[in-house]
Amino acid sequence: MKIITAPNPILSLEAKPVAKIGSQIQKVIKEMKKTLSLASDPEGVGLAAPQIGKSLRIFLAKPSPKGKIMIFINPQILEMDQASKTFTKKRKVGKKKKEVQKLEGCLSLKDIWGTVLRSPKVTLSYQDETGRKRTKEFKGFLATIIQHEYDHLNGVLFPKRVLEQKGKLYKSSKDEKGEDVFEELEL
């Protein structure tokens, strides 16, 4: 399937809950898995159903190239670090202050990147592809992917988080060696 890109309006709408996990939903999940697996330059680490034109509360996460694709249906974030909810606080690490920020990109926003402060851990309730309800805590890079994809289900693209946090956005391009070069965008 083709990945929907901004400014397509489906990306700014709240996705609808999945009422029943039947053959139609299994087909959507299969299409999403294939689409995520084929995403390259950049390689995809997550994909939400709105990104393939489906207003459904489903997203996938694949934190490593050889890792298994995880499926989240009707997810709900139950808990995340208090410091991250404000999206502006700094955490102390040893004697130095360090912001918990990562450069994020999005398959729906080609060549756009930004620094986003995300919680280092989240507790999520969701259904798996069999319909089984689960609650689990996720940490690190996977927690970041989950928050990014969860935002997609609520019609939020990561540049909104960048602007809320008074961060910077970058446009990437390839240099003569084929390596990525980042140029700050004027806001």
Contact 45, 102 (CB under 8 A): no
Q: Is the dihedral of CA 154, 158, 163, 166 positive or negative?
A: positive
Q: Which of 106, 90, 114, 120 is nearest to 167 (CA)?
A: 114
Instruction: Please tell me the number of Cα atoms within 13 Å of 11 on its side-chain side.
Output: 18
Catalytically annotated residue among 104, 129, 149, 183? 149
Contacts of 44 (CB under 8 A, 6+ apart): 35, 36, 37, 62, 107
Contact 77, 123 (CB under 8 A): yes
In the residue annotation, 79 being an active-site residue is answered as no
Cα 106 to the chain's mean position, in Å?
7
Instruction: Enumerate the active-site residues.
Output: 149
